[in-house]
Amino acid sequence: MGTVVLYTSHYGATARYARALAATLDVPCFELGKEDSYVVKNAQRIIYGGGLYAGNVAGLTRAKRYYASKEVYIFAVGIMQAGGPDICAHVEQQLQRCLGSGNAPAPGHLFCLNGAFCFARLNIVHKSMVRMMCRMLLGKGDALTREERSLLDALDAPVDFVDIATLAPLIAACGAGK
């Protein structure tokens, strides 16, 4: 069996990418927690996608049980400037910490994509997380990173930066076949 796409998405941005990716590659797509574990266990390649929450890729640790002896690609979806080397480097460090060096994605297997954000749609836990993050960020003044600025800017008005075309490098890296 070939490739499966697995994802965790709280508000739908990652889900939109995951479904489009799976449709293009013509492979199965599962939300983590609702997956057919037989299919996932028997896949040779997993493409895992998760939204970024306080710098962490959602569901990454839970999905880790499937990674052993597979080719793993990861895409992280956040409200940041997609593909910026600093952003990818930051996510890569988080992945190394979370997965351990033996499970870290191979070079070129990590992709960062732009997501969406609407404060009004957040659940109560995420609202208070965002409020806390913003209080911390505002205290940083000029030392804010570009990613942090994007999060603060998105508080004022909902943003939707999802762009399915930006999946192209990931699709190219995986190849059109299963």
Chain residues in the site for ligand FMN (CB under 6 A): 9-15, 51-55, 58, 77-80, 115-117, 122, 126, 129-130, 147, 151
User: Whole-number minimum distance, CB 122 to ligand FMN, in Å?
Assistant: 5
Residue indicated by tokens 């927690």:
33
Maximum Cα–Cα distance across the chain? 51
Closest CB to ligand FMN among 15 and 46?
A: 15
* Nearest 10 degrees: Cα torsion 59, 77, 115, 132: 60
User: Whole-number minimum distance, CB 78 to ligand FMN, in Å?
Assistant: 2
Closest CB to ligand FMN among 29 and 58?
A: 58
Closest CB to ligand FMN among 4 and 13?
A: 13
C-beta of residue 112 within 8 angstroms of C-beta of residue 166 = no
Give the C-alpha distances (Å, rounded to integers) separating 77 from 20, 44, 61, 111: 14, 23, 16, 9
* CA 118 from centre of chain: 17
Closest CB to ligand FMN among 68 and 86?
A: 86
User: Whole-number minimum distance, CB 43 to ligand FMN, in Å?
Assistant: 22
C-beta of residue 6 within 8 angstroms of C-beta of residue 63 = yes
User: Whole-number minimum distance, CB 1 to ligand FMN, in Å?
Assistant: 26
